[in-house]
Amino acid sequence: MIGNSRRGRMLAIAAASALALSVISACSTDDGGSSSTPSDGGSSAAAEKVTITLQTFGGGKNFGFKEAVDKWNAEHTDIQIKYDNLTDQFEQTYWPQMIQWLQSGAGAGDVVGIEEGGMGLAKAHPEWWADLGEFGLNNHQANFPAWKWENGVTVDGKLFALGTDVGGMSLCYRKDLFEKAGLPSDREEVGKLWPTWDDFVKVGHQFQAKVKDTKFVDGTNTLYNVVLVQEAAKNGNVAYFDKDNKLIVDSNPAVKTAYDFAEKISKEGLTAKLRNFTDEWKTGMKKSQFATLGCPAWMLGVVSGDDAAGPEFAGKWDVAAVPGGGGNWGGSWLAVPKQSKHPKEAAQVLEYLTGKEGQVSVFNYSGNLPSNVQAQQDPAVQGAKNEYFNDAPVGDIFVKSAGALQPVFLGVKHAQVKNAVESVVSAIDDGSVPYAEGWKRLVDDAVKAAG
């Protein structure tokens, strides 16, 4: 009986501890991942080391912060930056995940990148963000173009984000392949080949007649976006939504023009049928599957990144003027989520990364065009050449036109609609949606995604 009763007690204890364990493990998921120091950045805890997590997205060199972050970490012992580029997909992966983190109050970094397509939603949710005005960042207003600044202000008037880069538009091309096709390869002359998109298509056919195993463009999606921002500038600076957040996909001529152009290059056999930013697309650069690419400034960093064309193609790419004039595709902001445990230090890091020093470093490292006016005016930036792109004078090409860039208004649900529309634009290229049905599908899917 003794043995029996002791066994009973042991069992009870075992059961109790099992219960306790399961409760503990259920609870611990809540605050998992938080740093061990609960210091709120007060002066008494100034000696404690604070790690600021910087979360970004993008392929290749993405935000281009690598050298700027290394420099900061070498110079600061109290605040260290952990630079975490999460994924190269914004609409499909990064932003949905970030929204969940922001909404649930845990998971987001201390400083996070937001692409233009997410800003409409971000502005509409002041409760997600720390007020940067509290940390004295309001005095930077003069350093940014008005639209870039205003887009970083929430609907209730608080500053929550500062701009990193802006689009700026060019066309990247493979110098060696142009030579092979008997076309001019000097960037000035290449720019003169295609004042309009019709000329661009003509050059494409000339190229394709000589070179069989390389297509002229990557796919439909990149140039669709280039033409969309150019046309949007001519149609009141709106794309999928008007300024009242009403869906205008079917009535905005900019969308139809861009779609028609995408259909045309696909129909005429100029595309390698690769969707931008997929693994196949990046492999396509390594295998020379296409000869030109629509290039906003940040695309230079994507192309030269190790996972895309990479070092073996250094000097083979070059940058020329884009048909149809300038445009503004992409560009991002940095913000500090309210859930950050160190908002003061995070704001310091944000100030550094979007400031002159940080942005000059970014431009030199990746080619991303700073929105910060001080950085733009820096002689090192104005006179910059991009070694990877055959010493192209990127300072000339991008920076001088940067002041003229106009913002395209992007609605609250822009990211979702963009995702749906681009699937259809890619689907007509790979043949899964017939050309005849493409436009109707695009409108239908956009309506569904906005709903």
Interface contacts to another protein, rule CB under 8 A:
1-2, 4-5, 7-9, 11-16, 18-22, 26, 89, 92-93, 96, 99-100, 103, 121, 124-125, 273, 275, 278-280, 283-284, 287, 289, 416, 419, 423-424, 426-427, 429-433, 448-449
Closest CA to 169 of 412, 451, 416, 405: 405
Considering the complex, what minimum distance in angstroms separates the CB of residue 247 from another protein?
A: 14
Measured CA to CA in angstroms, residue 322 lies from 35, 270, 417 at distances of 47, 17, 26
Closer to another protein by Cβ: residue 222 or 386: 222
State the residue for tokens 């060199």.
Answer: 61
Closer residue to another protein in complex, CB, 120/294: 120
Whole-number Cα distances in Å, 146 to 140, 218, 379: 11, 34, 23
Of 77, 85, 32, the C-alpha closest to 54 is 85
DSSP 8-state class, residue 368: P
- Cα 430 to chain centroid distance, Å, stands at 24
Nearer to another protein, 69 or 427 (CB): 427
Nearer to another protein, 321 or 443 (CB): 443
- Closest distance to another protein from the beta carbon of 329 (Å): 21
Question: CB-wise, 325 or 431, nearer to another protein?
Answer: 431
Q: How far is the CB of 72 from another protein (least distance, A)?
A: 31
Work out how close the CB of 11 gets to another protein at its nearest, in angstroms, rounded to a whole number: 4
Nearer of residues 99 and 373 to another protein, judged by Cβ: 99
Minimum CB separation of residue 108 from another protein in Å reads 15
DSSP per residue over 416-436, as a string? HHHHHHHHHHHHHHHTSS-HH
Q: Kind of pairing, strands 161-166 and 369-370?
A: antiparallel
What's the closest the beta carbon of residue 350 comes to another protein, in angstroms? 23
Residue pair 317/104 in contact by the 8 Å Cβ criterion: no
Map tokens 């997600």 to a residue: 128
373 exposed, middle or buried (CB, 10 Å; 0-12, 13-18, 19+)? middle
- The least distance separating another protein from the CB of residue 414, rounded to whole angstroms, comes to 13
Name 317's bridge partners: 174
Closest to another protein by CB, 21 or 209: 21
CB 443 within 8 A of CB 260: no
Say how far apart CA 281 and CA 278 lie, in whole Å: 5
User: Nearer Cβ to another protein, position 283 or 377?
Assistant: 283
Task: Write down the least CB distance from residue 230 to another protein, Å.
Answer: 24
